[in-house]
Chains A and B, each alone.
Chain A
Amino acid sequence: MKVLVAVKRVVDYNVKVRAKGDGSDVDLNNVKMAINPFCEIAVEEAVRLKEAGVATEVIAVSVGEKPCQEQIRTALALGADRGIHVETEGRIEPLVIAKLLKSVVEKEQPQLVILGKQSIDGDNNQTGQMLGALTNMPQGTFASEIKVEGDKLNVVREVDGGLQTISLTLPAIVTTDLRLNEPRYASLPNIMKAKKKQLDVFSPADLGVEITHHITQLRVEPPAERQAGIKVEDVAQLVDKLKNEAKVIS
């Protein structure tokens, strides 16, 4: 079966992002960009399905400006077979990304679409679920384990109380949580090979999707700072402070 994996170009997770002084936006000048960590887990899972003989082809798709082709190449180096870039300009919202992905799904007819549960820039946690609604496909969000069983997909999900297992008809959507797998590193030969893999570029117009904006970012600001408190000498002083000063234990 064919597996479609969505990847997003985001600020590297090691970078501490700050709001610009004038509050107009975050300062992304000269910061290192990378594949979103949850998307990397999605690519790894798709590649493992291929290695296990379950998937026949893995297609990596990214929506964004031209440089996101770097992240598609990363996915190709990790083992995806070919790439699709939907080239857009400027800020783009999850609903529109989901609509663009829906068009790609209609074109490619994958049996499984794997996405990260959220991107570490917008922290929206929406795209996979929205794609599910638009394509009328079931979703296994926050997945920590997936297993294809005949024409069904079993998904173990990370939920508030623990783990939930659901069974989905195929085609289906999966969004990844941290424990699904541990992504591999791309080897140098695979990075070289990835440069030669097929990468098709589409515009939103090619896919018949109009870019709309529903949300305006008015300003950004740093979070309220918490004041550092005091250092205590030992456990006895700590317990005394908690009992008599903070009064949070009795």
Chain B
Amino acid sequence: MSTLVIAEHDNSGLKPATLNAVTAAQALGADIDILVAGAGCAAVGEEAAKIAGIGKVLVADNAVYEHQLAENVSLLIAEVAAGYDNVVAPATTNGKNIMPRVAALLDVAQVSDVIAVESADTFKRPIYAGNVIATVQSSDARKVITVRTTAFDAAAAEGGSASVEAVSAVHDAGLSSFVGEEVAVSDRPELTAAPVVISGGRGMQNGDNFKLLEGIADKLGAAIGASRAAVDAGFVPNDMQVGQTGKIVAPDLYIAVGISGAIQHLAGMKDSKVIVAINKDEDAPIFQVADYGLVADLFDALPQLESAL
């Protein structure tokens, strides 16, 4: 039995999501190799080789893989996967984009967003926006799995000494090209990796009022998120959305401000260690999951909180 983990990276460094995927892969009970597909990504391969418990790291370093275009990378993964029983990737936007394509190329089902590995073929995953947890069994000989990173601890990033091998296969489907990207430039930590997240909901009333969260975020070293309601209302961009259809976070501290607590949102943050809710509606469902609830007008509470920190 052997498992191939697909590394999440930006060509210069490994993303922590890879470490969570490795832990999920360990639960499958097979030997683990890692595939790094990118361009100028040798450093990522070196970094992956240090992860504890990895057999070898395969590095496919070519311009056609630079931007993780699904058409190209899926062909590569499907080819490399021929030698493995399982292919595991974190359920990031990259993993979600590429892996179903891999599964279809291999003519197998994909098990998406796994939150627990029960055995080598049985998995738990949330359905209906997290209202229900399904236990599913795959009958495919080769399994393609994406894992919810917040459900698995990070594997040790140091301590391993895997060999690094180059993969020479070059797959250019010739169907797609990268035009550009707008990456939110921020001094704050990334939402999915931040130890503290402060999110605003419809109660923020408009996008400008999200500035009230910034001072607090700066003091706590927090990332700023939002509920789907706030995104739908156009207050903030969708990449800030925490929830079943947005990002799944599990920080040490999650502060929900002016968020009612729709199941859609809870599905994205309820695994946080400590949850604080600030809402003027004392019956808001968010208080049912909050460790500390403050019934207050957020426009009074936020400035007070900022000066108290």
A interface, CB within 8 angstroms of B? 11, 16-19, 26, 93-95, 98, 117-118, 120-134, 136-139, 141-142, 144, 154, 157-169, 172, 177-179, 213-223, 226, 228-232, 234-236, 238-239, 241-242, 246, 248-249
The reply on B206 being an interface residue by CB < 8 A is no
Given A95-B109, A138-B71, A232-B294, the answer on whether A161 and B239 have CB atoms closer than 8 Å is: yes
* A/B interface sample: 10 pairs, CB < 8 A: A95-B108, A118-B245, A129-B98, A133-B74, A162-B182, A165-B181, A217-B135, A231-B292, A235-B294, A242-B276
* B129 and A123 within 8 A (CB): yes
Whether, in the assembled complex, B80 has its beta carbon less than 8 Å from a beta carbon of chain A, the answer is no
Judged by a CB distance under 8 angstroms, whether B299 is at the interface is: no
Q: Given A133-B74, A163-B239, A214-B109: A229 and B104 within 8 A (CB)? A: no
Pairwise interchain contact B173-A215, C-beta atoms closer than 8 A: no
With beta carbons under 8 angstroms apart, the residue of A138, A162, A163, A165 that contacts B173 is A138
CB distance from A142 to the nearest CB of B (A): 6
A218 in contact with B70 (CB, 8 Å): no
Inter-chain contact B135/A220, CB cutoff 8 Å:
yes
Which residues of A sit under 8 angstroms from B102, Cβ to Cβ?
A: 133
> Once bound together, how far apart are the Cα atoms of A222 and B290, in whole Å?
19
Interface residues of B in 56-78 (CB under 8 A from A): 67, 69-71, 74
Given contacts A163-B239, A218-B137, 11 further A-B contacts (CB under 8 A): A120-B128, A124-B112, A134-B104, A215-B137, A217-B136, A223-B130, A231-B287, A242-B274, A246-B292, A249-B220, A249-B253
| Contact of A163 with B129 at beta-carbon distance under 8 Å, contacts A138-B176, A144-B238 already known | no
Interface size on B, residues (CB 8 A): 92
A201 → chain B, closest Cβ, in Å?
Answer: 25
Q: Please, which residues of chain B bring their CB within 8 A of the CB of A142?
A: 93, 96-97
CB <8 Å contact, B128 and A241: no
B304 within 8 A of A: yes
Are A158 and B178 neighbours in the complex by a CB distance under 8 Å?
Answer: no
When distances are taken between beta carbons in the complex, the residues of chain A under 8 Å from B37 are none
A130 to B100, CA, bound (A): 5
Residue among A141, A177, A228 making CB contact with B290, cutoff 8 Å:
A228
Contact B140 A179 (CB under 8 A): no
Inter-chain contacts of A17 with B (CB < 8 A): 128, 131-132
Interface of B is mostly: mixed
A166 x B179 contact (CB < 8 A): yes
CB pair A94–B70 under 8 Å, yes or no, is: no
Chain B residue, CB-CB nearest to A17: B128
Q: How far is the CA of A125 from the CA of B246 in the complex (A)?
A: 12
- B242 CB–A CB distance under 8 Å: no
Q: Which residues of B have CB within 8 Å of A213?
A: 139
Q: Which residues of A contact B129 (CB under 8 A)?
A: 120, 123
Contact with A along B154-197 (1 / 0, CB 8 A): 00000000000000000001111111111110000010100010
Determine if A94 and B128 form an interchain contact, defined as CB atoms under 8 angstroms apart.
Answer: no
Q: Are the C-beta atoms of A228 and B128 separated by less than 8 Å?
A: no
B20 CB to nearest chain A CB (Å): 14
Q: Are A223 and B137 in contact (CB under 8 A)?
A: no
Residue of A nearest to B300 (CB): A235
Report Cα–Cα, A218/B111, bound state, in Å: 14
* A130/B94 contact (C-beta < 8 A), A222-B132, A223-B130 known: no
A238 touches B239 (CB 8 A): no
List which B114-158 residues lie within 8 A (CB) of chain A. 122, 125-140
A214, B101: Cα distance in complex, Å: 16
B293 within 8 Å of A by Cβ?
yes
Instruction: List the 6 shortest-distance A-B pairs measured between CB atoms, nearest first.
Output: A229-B291, A214-B109, A129-B100, A138-B175, A133-B104, A130-B104
Q: Is the CB of B228 within 8 A of A215?
A: no
